[in-house]
Structures are given as C-alpha cells and as structure tokens.
Structure 1
Amino acid sequence: MNMEQLRSFVEVVRHGQIFRAAEELHISQPALSRQMAALEAEVGAPLLARHSRGVHMTKAGEALHDEAVELLNRMQSVVDEIRSGEHLIVSINIGVPPGLPSAWLRERLSTRGENFRVSLIEAPTDEQLIMLKQKKLDIALARRQSEAFPTHLVYQQRLGIVIREESALHETLRHRESATLEDMEGLRVLAHSRGEVRVQEEILKNAMLSAGVAATWIFRKFGQYSALIADLVEADVALTTKTSAGKNFPGWVWIPLVGEDAAGDDLVVRTWATWNPQPSPEVTTLLRRFTEPLLMPPETVAPTTPLSAAKTPPDTTSPAASEGDATTT
C-alpha cells in the first residue's frame, strides 16, 4: 500500500466514478482500476461496490477512507511545513507573571527575522519555577530570585497606592508627587493575595513594621473586579504597580510609594529572568534581550546589579549572564 494508491482511492470515492477520478488524476481508467484492485488485494477485502452509475464504498472501504483522508492531510501538512521552512522554527516558551507591561515585553519578544517563535504562559512564580524544572518553560520571568537556576534581575517597578479620586486621602495627597508608608497609618490596605504577588506582603508588611506604621491588611486576588472587591472590604487604598493599577483599578488615582523596606532597599517589585543551565542558542539569543539594557518605560526603576553579578548555581555556565545589564518588575 502506498500514498498514490490511497490518494487514488480517495478520489474515486469523491467522484463516485472510476473514469471521472481517472481524469482528475490524469491517468487512464484501466490503470486506476488496477490500482484499486491491487489495494483491495493488499487490504484483503473489497473496498468499492460497483453499480450501474459508478461505485460506492463498502464497510471496509468506509473504514479505510477515513484513515486515508487523515493520513493524506497529515502528509500534506508536513510537506507544506517543509516547503515553508516551518520545521526550522524553534518554539520558545516564556513564563510571565501578572502585571508586566506589554510594551516592555513586546520590545524584547519580536521574532521578525529570527528562526524562533515565542509563546507566553501567564503564571505566578511558584508555578513558573515548577514548569521550568519540568522543561515546560525555557525562560521564567519570576518575582523572586531562584536558588536552583541561573537567574538575572531584569526589571523593577515602583510600588504605589491607588485611591479613589473622591476620597479624603486623595485630597490630602493630590498636591504631592508620592506617598510614604506613614500615609497609610491606620488605613485598611488591600494587596495581592499571598499566591499572586507574595513580595508585596513580605516587603511591605516588614517595611511598615520597621517604620512603626500600623495598618489593617486585606489580601485578595486582583483581577477584573478588584475595584468592586476594594469597595466590599472597605479598603482605603490598594497597593500595586502602575501597570496593574491601570488594568485592575480603572478610574482610580495611582501615586508612587516612596520609602525603604526593612533591609534598606527601595519599595519595588522585582522580576528575574530565570532559565535552565546550558540553554539553546535560540534561548540564549532571547535572554540577551532581557539582560542587555534597552529603553525602559517611565515606571521602571533601573536596577543596579551588574550583569556580571547574575547569580548562577555552582559549576553552571550561563551564556546570557556574560553579556550586559538588566532589570525587573
């Protein structure tokens, strides 16, 4: 049995007549009849029943026809892929946490002229690192630094508070360029739930304790109904980045938060590019776009960690970590 026989069989079924199928295939009617006879002999069962107006499939023919069509379609897809060069395209999977600016990602993920394509998978850090270990991701953009993989700080975003324009707090802050931890004294503060952006709880609660600021913390998952959730829990402010504020709190006012955490670092959300050791050349090419300095959006806080300081596990080489500098959200 060969592809030519299967193709001929499918055409005979489609036309319902041997002579019309022969015309379509540009072969003689006797030659096509011999092909069908040879195919039936190989299968060991009649595939076509002849009648006065042509032919129709037997039960065996119906079973073979469905498989033949699927096989021919798959083969045509392979041929088309080879002709287009699609088989040479490498797929790269990148994990993305909620809240990264699209413009920042788009600047680094263009595949024009490259031999790879990028797929984005939105997931929190814990899930990303599991997928990275399972080799389901090539690069994880994680909210914390990994101890198990090569990693490099690639992006930082200032944390801020969102408040309603009609609130008394907005009246207090509207002439100021930023808010401080002390401004949240006694307030009900809404933040991402523990499973979403855990860094907000860890950094900010410790920072406020260190500064002697008392506030009531409410943790919820941010999304489409964040503003409604804030109303229902009677939150005075919500803590988030500027990008997430625009997405989750439309109509609210975002004000950057200035201060230091308990370790003396700026109040920012950091993102690290994290990857498996010995990445492919295509992944290395893409990593360089994250680890070399590019134009950063206004909300970015430029990182100070030199690329040469990118952390890698012992005895691990990291091609991307020898190229340049980078930042995180």
Structure 2
Amino acid sequence: MELRHLKYFAKVAQLRSVSKAAIALNITQPALSRQIKDLEREVGYILFDRTPRGVTVTAAGAGLYRHCETVFAQVDRIPEVLRTASQNREMLHVGVPQGLPYDWFLGLLQAVDVQVPTIALTLHEATTDEQWQMLQSRLVDVALLHREAPEAGGSMLLMKQAIGVAVKADSPLARLAEVGLAELDGLSVMAHAVGEIAAEEIRLRAAATTAGVTMQWVFRRFSEHSGLIAVTSKVDAVLLTESSAARHLPDWVWTPVRAERDPSFDLAIRTWATWNEPQTAHVDALLTVMRAQARPRG
C-alpha cells in the first residue's frame, strides 16, 4: 500500500464521487477506479458502495477515512520531526484548550528549556473533546483537558481557575467586589458552549436552577470574535475565567463569582494533564516540570 492510494481513497470519500475526485486529483476516472479496487483488494474490505448518484463509504471505509486523518497528520509532521531530531531534541506534542493563562504557558516553556533542553514542545490548540480524540490517535503526547478523562493512562490536576463575570464598565455589577448568581437574575448572560469546556452549559443551568434565578443564556464557542458576539447579542454579562476575559474582553471589567456554601455552586474551571501509558522518558520529564508549575488550588 502506498500513501497515494490513501490520498485517492480519502478524496473519493470526501467528495462521494469517483468522477469529481478524478478531476480534483487530475487523473482519469478509470485510473482512479482501478486504484480504489486495488486498495480494496489489498486491505480485504469493500470501502465504497456504488450508487447511481456516486458512492457512499461502507463501515470499513468510514473507519479507514478517520484513520487517514491520523496518517496524513503524521506525514505532515515529518519535516518538523527531522529538523528537531537533527538538533538532538525530542519533539513532544501538547494539546491545549482556550482559556489557560498566558503567563502559565510562558513559565512552562521557559522551565522546559532550562530543565529539559532535549525536549522541543509543539502546541496544538483544540477543545477538550478534540484533544481526547487526538490523544487516543496519538497525535498528541499530552492533552490538557477541562475534564478528568475516563480510561486515561494517566491524569494529573494542573490548575483550578475561578469563574467570574465580565461586564461593561458602566454596568452596576462593575462596582461590586464579587458577584453572586442572585445578581445575575433576569440578565442576559453569555458563556462557553458545550464542547469548548465540556458540560459547562449543563453545570451552569443546574447552578442557576438551584439558586432559584432565571437567566437568558447565550452559549457560544469562544474565539477571537467573542467580544463582537457579546456586543451584537446585547448580553449584560459574560461568565468566563479572568485569563479569558483579558484575552477576549480587554475593555470589560472582570469580577469573581462569589463562592457559595453549596458544592453545586463550585463553577471553577479545572484543567488536567492526561497522557497515554506507558509514557516515554521525555513525557515523564515534561510531566515533572508541569507538576512543579501546577496550580491545583487556583
């Protein structure tokens, strides 16, 4: 099996048409059909069901298509791997979610450079759910997740970040030292969407219900345009960490959410470092540095 066979297969699976894929690949349709049949014969599975309107992937084909993403990603990394290896350094891929403090990352990178100069870190920004898939596919060596991953080889709590409320400077809430959920009753509040920080939507709705308050929720995946989304949605407040507020809403005032006696009101964002076992010596060295940089109590 050659890499080009997988590229041909992936293009047909993407376009769901041999003829369209042939045009995109700049080869003839009969030649592409032969390549696909050769691949099916070699792997021993039918990869496509032929229909009058084109093709659809079989269950086996869908599995191969998902695996191709991993194969192509590893191939794309070859120049970086060679460059790092030529410097006698081991490249480690680390998945990171949005919202972690910039100063923490900078301190981690500086500590790694000093303590483990044989490591070269490459960061991949992705949501918790995306990182979990990348970890299982071994596209990252260490994933930083906003939930403690089940079935993980290893997991370590890295930090706990307080949730706060960002409001415009002229908001009455901007004058408070801390904000409780009661102060948000009846307001329009924006927060992270599910998938950005796993299950936060469910947790926030449950906390509001327990507190007996009603909010008009606006759930969005936070991005470089979060400030514009907050303005156009005309929200009164945004629930997020202080580091996220500094990044997305630099002109707004951030105030921590008041701690409540009920444990259900613990809305802090926790981040775990997660890795596959058995871990390599370089991964173990990185985790040692991370452990020293951990802020598990916020």
Mapping of residues 152-231 of structure 1, within 5 Å = 152-170=156-174, 174=175, 176-231=176-231
Question: 1:179–1:272: structure 2 CA closer, same or farther, 3 Å change rule?
Answer: same
**Aligned amino acid, residue 197 of structure 2:** V
Kept in 1: contact 2:189–2:237 (CA 8 A) = yes
Mapping of residues 92-107 of structure 1, within 5 Å = 92-107=92-107
Whether 1:251 and 2:255 are equivalent positions in the alignment is: no
Aligned to 1:28: none
Please give the TM-score of this superposition, normalised by the length of structure 1.
0.60
- Percent of paired sites with the same residue: 34
Kept in 2: contact 1:260–1:267 (CA 8 A) = no
Aligned to 1:111: 113
Aligned to 1:288: 288
Paired residue secondary structure (1:283) = helix
Deviates more, 1:160-169 or 1:245-254: 160-169
**Aligned amino acid, residue 180 of structure 2:** T
CA distance in 2, matches of 1:103, 1:199: 26
- 1:130 pairs, out of 119, 133, 141, with 133
**Aligned amino acid, residue 168 of structure 2:** R
CA distance in 1, matches of 2:188, 2:139: 40
CA distance in 2, matches of 1:239, 1:219: 10
Kept in 1: contact 2:129–2:198 (CA 8 A) = no
Deviation (angstroms), 1:263 = 4.0
Question: 1:153–1:264: structure 2 CA closer, same or farther, 3 Å change rule?
Answer: same
Output one character per residue of 1:8-27: Cα deviation in whole Å (capped at 9) or x when no partner: xxxxxxxxxxxxxxxxxxxx
Aligned to 1:278: 278
Deviation (angstroms), 1:87 = 5.4
Aligned to 1:47: none
Question: 1:261–1:214: structure 2 CA closer, same or farther, 3 Å change rule?
Answer: farther
Question: 1:231–1:85: structure 2 CA closer, same or farther, 3 Å change rule?
Answer: closer
Whether 1:233 and 2:233 are equivalent positions in the alignment is: yes
5+ residue gaps, structure 2: 1-78
CA distance in 2, matches of 1:238, 1:117: 36
Aligned to 2:8: none
5+ residue gaps, structure 1: 1-76, 297-301, 304-326
Kept in 2: contact 1:199–1:269 (CA 8 A) = no
Give the greater-gyration-radius structure (CA). 1
Alignment: residue pair count? 214
